[in-house]
Amino acid sequence: MTDISQLESDLAARVDAAADVAALEAVRVAALGKSGQVSELLKSLGAMSPDQRRAQGPLINGLRDRLTARIAQRRAALDAAALDAELAAGRLDLSLPASTRRRGAVHPTMQVMDEMIAIFAEMGFAMAEGPDIEDDFHNFTALNFPPKHPAREMHDTFFLQADANGDRKVLRTHTSPVQVRVMQKTNQPPPAPWIASGQTPPIRVIVPGRTYRSDSDATHTPMFHQVEGLVIDRDIHMGHLKWTLDTFIARFFETSSVETRFRPHHFPFTEPSAEMDVRCDRSGGETKIGQGTDWMEILGCGMVHPNVLRNCGLDPDEWQGFAFGFGVDRLGSLKYGMPDLRDMFAADTRWLAHYGFSAYQTPNPATGLS
Ligand code: PHE
């Protein structure tokens, strides 16, 4: 019969001698594993007579318990030693300079959007949003585009695949459809919480958002950003529009000396209509404002067409208004001197690091610009 106390002192010596966790585990398996020495002893109890079992049982079980405790103790000692070694080896020198981390930057377009929102918020405008994927009604029909108007054609517009009824949705070509969503009298709840639903005049909203047209050169990108503005009230005239835009421009460029000009233009949804240009110099691979002989178009505007008011359920004899649509990326390129709009969306991190803004500097509607 196995000499239990001899076995115990052998195993105890091996546990104490285990130099690392792997060695300790090997001893544990050899003793307490499925066919370990102690496990085999436990199994042998089954074949013993009751008297033998009564004598041997406590001895063998005692051996197992003491051994298990000893292994746990050794394990704790080894773990503590390993941690001590790691701490000793990994000493930190707090006087060393920190390694530089790449820091993200706020994209100039987002910065400019925030600046615009802050300025218009100061001027009493609320904000509205609409979906990027629009239906023909909101993007064109309600805005008084005649059925065969060239802007509906493939040339400008990204069409989505037609549905079973033959209706084609579009990637909105401008933020003006949100004018309709804001003005439209409807008992329907908006399809999503962030989509503006009908409001009763007086209305003063701006609509920042992405817009899409099939166009690409130094001053056009297929995806670009607009900020739409809409004011509806009684006795609103072109003078209010011009004051609003001039005031905005002076605040945005932080000087009253920026030269702008209004050019007569045509939009189906405004009458009369105009475009506004800013004088700049685009020679020499940089865009400089306040000098030069170039003009950059930055917005379209006009008095809301009576048909649009009617399409939205407002009586043009009672309500008038003006609207404008800024090209945000262009405005940013003028203020911050980027020569080619396409670079804005090339996702070149060197460009972003150069032109980007600190996240700590973004303006917001509560604090205003500064
Ligand atoms: N939606 C026009 C465009 O994208 C701009 C505009 C907005 C013109 C509002 C007039 C009134 O070109």
- Summarised one tens digit per residue, pLDDT across range 55-92 is 999 999 999 999 999 999 999 999 999 999 988 888 88
Task: Count CA atoms within 13 Å of residue 281 on its CB side.
Answer: 8
Per-residue pLDDT at 244: 97
Residues 328 and 190 in one domain: yes
Q: Which residues contact 119 (CB under 8 A, 6 or more apart)?
A: 248, 251, 252, 368, 369
Report if residue 57 sits inside a domain: yes
Per-residue pLDDT at 190: 65
Residues 222 and 322 in one domain: yes
Report if residue 93 sits inside a domain: no
- Rounded CA separation 367/370 (Å): 7
Residues 230 and 313 in one domain: yes
> Could you tell me if the CB of 152 is within 6 A of ligand 1?
no
Q: Which two tokens stand for residue 172?
A: 């909105």
Q: Ligand 1 atom closest to Cα of 173? A: 4
- Segment 145-155 shows an average pLDDT of 77
- Rounded CA separation 247/251 (Å): 6
**Which of 2-11, 185-194, 278-287, 359-368 is predicted with the least confidence, judged by mean pLDDT?**
185-194
Residues 212 and 323 in one domain: yes
Q: Which two tokens stand for residue 26?
A: 């090997």
The residue whose CB lies within 8 Å of the most ligand 1 atoms, and thus the one to mutate among 219, 223, 267, is: 267
CA distances from residue 197 to 184, 189, 238, 287 in whole angstroms, order as listed: 7, 7, 26, 39
Per-residue pLDDT at 94: 87
Report if residue 98 sits inside a domain: no
Per-residue pLDDT at 283: 83
> Could you tell me if the CB of 355 is within 6 A of ligand 1?
no
DSSP 152: G
Q: How far away, in angstroms, is 226 Cα from ligand 1 center?
A: 9
- Rounded CA separation 221/224 (Å): 6
Residues 115 and 41 in one domain: no
Average pLDDT, the chain: 90
Report if residue 102 sits inside a domain: no
> Could you tell me if the CB of 311 is within 6 A of ligand 1?
no
Cβ atoms 212, 172 nearer than 8 A: yes
Q: Residue 267's domain spans which residues?
A: 108-355
Torsion angle defined by CA atoms of residues 219, 221, 223 and 225, in that order, rounded to the nearest 10 degrees: -10
Q: Which residue has the higher pLDDT, 30 or 216?
A: 30
Per-residue pLDDT at 210: 97
- Give the DSSP H or E segment for 2: none
Confidence class of residue 323 from pLDDT cuts 50, 70 and 90? very high
Report if residue 365 sits inside a domain: no
Confidence class of residue 288 from pLDDT cuts 50, 70 and 90? confident
Residues 229 and 265 in one domain: yes
Phi-psi region of 204 (alpha: psi -120 to 50; beta: other; left: phi over 0): beta
Residues 177 and 61 in one domain: no
- Sequence-ordered strand ranges (E) for the chain: 126-127, 133-134, 170-171, 203-212, 223-233, 260-267, 270-281, 288-289, 294-304, 320-327
Number of domains in the chain: 2
Helices marked H in 90-176 — which ranges? 108-122, 136-139
Q: Which two tokens stand for residue 72?
A: 């746990």
Q: Ligand 1 atom closest to Cα of 230? A: 9
What is the distance of C-alpha 57 from the center of its chain?
69
**Which of 152-166, 271-285, 316-330, 335-349 is predicted with the least confidence, judged by mean pLDDT?**
152-166
- Segment 271-275 shows an average pLDDT of 97
Q: How far away, in angstroms, is 318 Cα from ligand 1 center?
A: 23
Nearest CA to ligand 1 atom 10: 301
Using CA of residue 266, residue 269, residue 273, residue 276, what is the dihedral sign? negative
Per-residue pLDDT at 253: 92
Q: Ligand 1 atom closest to Cα of 175? A: 1
The residue whose CB lies within 8 Å of the most ligand 1 atoms, and thus the one to mutate among 134, 145, 152, 174, is: 174
Residues 271 and 125 in one domain: yes
Q: Ligand 1 atom closest to Cα of 211? A: 4
Residue 200 belongs to a domain with what CATH number?
Answer: 3.30.930.10
Q: How large is the C-alpha radius of gyration of the chain? A: 38
Give yes or no for residue 93 having a pLDDT over 70: yes
Residues 224 and 305 in one domain: yes
Report if residue 251 sits inside a domain: yes
- Rounded CA separation 109/117 (Å): 12
Per-residue pLDDT at 290: 79
pTM higher than 0.85 for the full model?
no
Residues 250 and 159 in one domain: yes
Report if residue 334 sits inside a domain: yes
Dmax (CA) of the chain: 115
Per-residue pLDDT at 154: 59
Q: Which two tokens stand for residue 95?
A: 């006087």
pLDDT tens figures, 215-231: 888 888 999 999 999 99
Q: What is the DSSP string of 283-325?
A: -TTS-EESSSSEEEEEEEEEEEPHHHHHHTT--TTT-EEEEEE
Residues 258 and 297 in one domain: yes
Query: Percent of the chain at pLDDT above 90?
Result: 71
- Rounded CA separation 310/91 (Å): 75
Residues 188 and 69 in one domain: no
Report if residue 194 sits inside a domain: yes
Phi-psi region of 130 (alpha: psi -120 to 50; beta: other; left: phi over 0): beta
- Segment 331-352 shows an average pLDDT of 90
Confidence class of residue 192 from pLDDT cuts 50, 70 and 90? low
Q: Which two tokens stand for residue 171?
A: 């990637």
Nearest CA to ligand 1 atom 7: 325
For residue 264, give the 3-state DSSP assignment: strand
